[in-house]
Structure 1
Amino acid sequence: MHFLIVEDTRDVAEAIERRLEKAGHVSDRAETLEDAEHFVAMARHDLIVLDINLPDGSGIAFLKKLRAAGNRVPVLVLTARLAVNDKIDALDLGADDYMIKPFDLGELEARIRAIIRRRSGDADRTLAVGKLSFDMAARRVLIDGEPCELTRREQTLLEIFLTNRDRVLEKEDLLIRLFGHDEERNPNAVELYVGRLRRKIEGSGLEIRTLRGLGYQAVTMEPGT
């Protein structure tokens, strides 16, 4: 998945980025509100990790601006502040969760997974369709109870499709979610990974459709079809 980390303390931002990268995700990093607004304008993110105290303003003001513009991207707020009012303000403005520094990276990752599950309508840490199940925490994929070996990016692509079932996902959007902005990205890479994933999950009950001129759509296949 594709995350945005808005944090001006470089070692904290790098630690979060490394943790998410190990789970197969890509991240943009912004040290200022100006940079954050730039990244938001460039691409759609699956979640934003947002520090409150930034060099050029308040993360709360950034969150308020996001929601006023109709942007419903999930937001996890980070802050060193202990005041209850700060937490209330963030949640009232549409933050999905709130953590106080210092925090444990494992807990941060777990909370991010929980936010994504809630937004996709899944209450459990395991995403399941037909015979396929994907444990988001253990990064384990099973088809009819048997392990399905996927590469890190194939897992990321599967997670994107599972959490966006029935939605049409543009090819460029998938490209950014898989590779971010910093790497040299080959537009044909999406077709390659989608093709590989299709072959590996064939018969699982999840179908990835190509919609010419629009992108891709993951749908649940009816039994017997």
Structure 2
Amino acid sequence: MRILLVEDNLSLAEGLSALLRQSGYAVDVVHDGASAEALAAAESFELVILDLNLPQMDGLEVLRAMRARRNPAAVMILTARGTPEERVRGLDLGADDYLIKPFDIGEFEARIRSLLRRQAGLRTATVSFGALSFDQNSRSFAVEGRPLDLPARERGLLELLITRAGKVVPRDSIVQSLTSLEDDLSANAIEQYVSRLRKRLAPAGLTVRTARGIGYFLDRAEP
């Protein structure tokens, strides 16, 4: 899952981006409103974490511009501006959540998980496909209740596949969701991750199938 963090406090931005990356998210960070507006227009994100007191362009103006372009990304406002009027204005402009600084890190992470579940159209924290289950709260997989340990990129790919089970996930969507602007993910690398996932999922009677020229989807293996 790809997140855009917009925060002009450099130490806070560094700490939050490190926390998010440790949780397996692909994170891009900018420190002013103009850069945020430009990047949100050019790239695809599942979630934008948006401060309001930003240089060059206020966070609410960034939000207004995003929604004017019908940008579908979830937006969490993260700010010290917490009056009822400010919260109402942000939510009316299209924010999905509003968290006041200072905040509890556990609550911050829980709100992110909730927003990303909503973005994926999921009502519950646990998603299952055959013998495979995925707990979005812990971002962990299990096969028939037994933990399935995966490297970060394979876990991210399988998360995309299971939360979109029954649908083909295009290669472009995989690249956008798993990488920030600082990363590079080639078609060959994706195929390697898919190959490794097939081996890991075989004992569960599942596989990752290729939709030639389009992408990949999670399926039950042939008996």
TM-score, normalised with respect to structure 2: 0.89
The aligned counterpart of 2:171 is 171
Aligned pair count? 223
Query: Alpha-carbon deviation of 1:129?
Result: 1.9
| Partners of 1:55 and 1:218 in 2: CA distance | 44
| SS at structure 2 position matched to 1:141 | strand
| SS at structure 1 position matched to 2:178 | helix
Q: How many percent identity over aligned positions? A: 39
Deviation by residue 1:37-91 (Cα, 9 ceiling, x = unmatched): 3322332111111111110122112112111211111111111112101111111
Q: Unaligned regions of 5+ residues in structure 1, if any?
A: none
| Partners of 1:206 and 1:87 in 2: CA distance | 45
The aligned counterpart of 1:87 is 87
Q: Unaligned regions of 5+ residues in structure 2, if any?
A: none
Query: Alpha-carbon deviation of 1:205?
Result: 6.7
Q: Does residue 118 of structure 2 align to residue 109 of structure 1? A: no
Question: CA separation of 1:203/1:44 partners in 2, compared to 1, >3 Å: closer, same or farther?
Answer: farther
Contact 1:172 1:187 in 2 (8 A): no
Deviation by residue 1:148-167 (Cα, 9 ceiling, x = unmatched): 22112211111222233344
Alignment of 1:11-90 (within 5 A): 11-90=11-90
Alignment of 1:138-177 (within 5 A): 138-177=138-177
The aligned counterpart of 1:201 is 201
| Partners of 2:162 and 2:124 in 1: CA distance | 13
The aligned counterpart of 2:182 is 182
TM-score, normalised with respect to structure 1: 0.88
| Partners of 1:41 and 1:203 in 2: CA distance | 42
Moved more, 90-99 or 34-43: 34-43
Question: CA separation of 1:95/1:203 partners in 2, compared to 1, >3 Å: closer, same or farther?
Answer: farther
Deviation by residue 1:153-182 (Cα, 9 ceiling, x = unmatched): 211111222233344433233224323211
| Partners of 1:95 and 1:72 in 2: CA distance | 11
Contact 2:46 2:119 in 1 (8 A): no
| SS at structure 2 position matched to 1:76 | strand
Question: CA separation of 1:166/1:31 partners in 2, compared to 1, >3 Å: closer, same or farther?
Answer: farther
Q: What amino acid sits opposite 1:7 in the alignment?
A: E
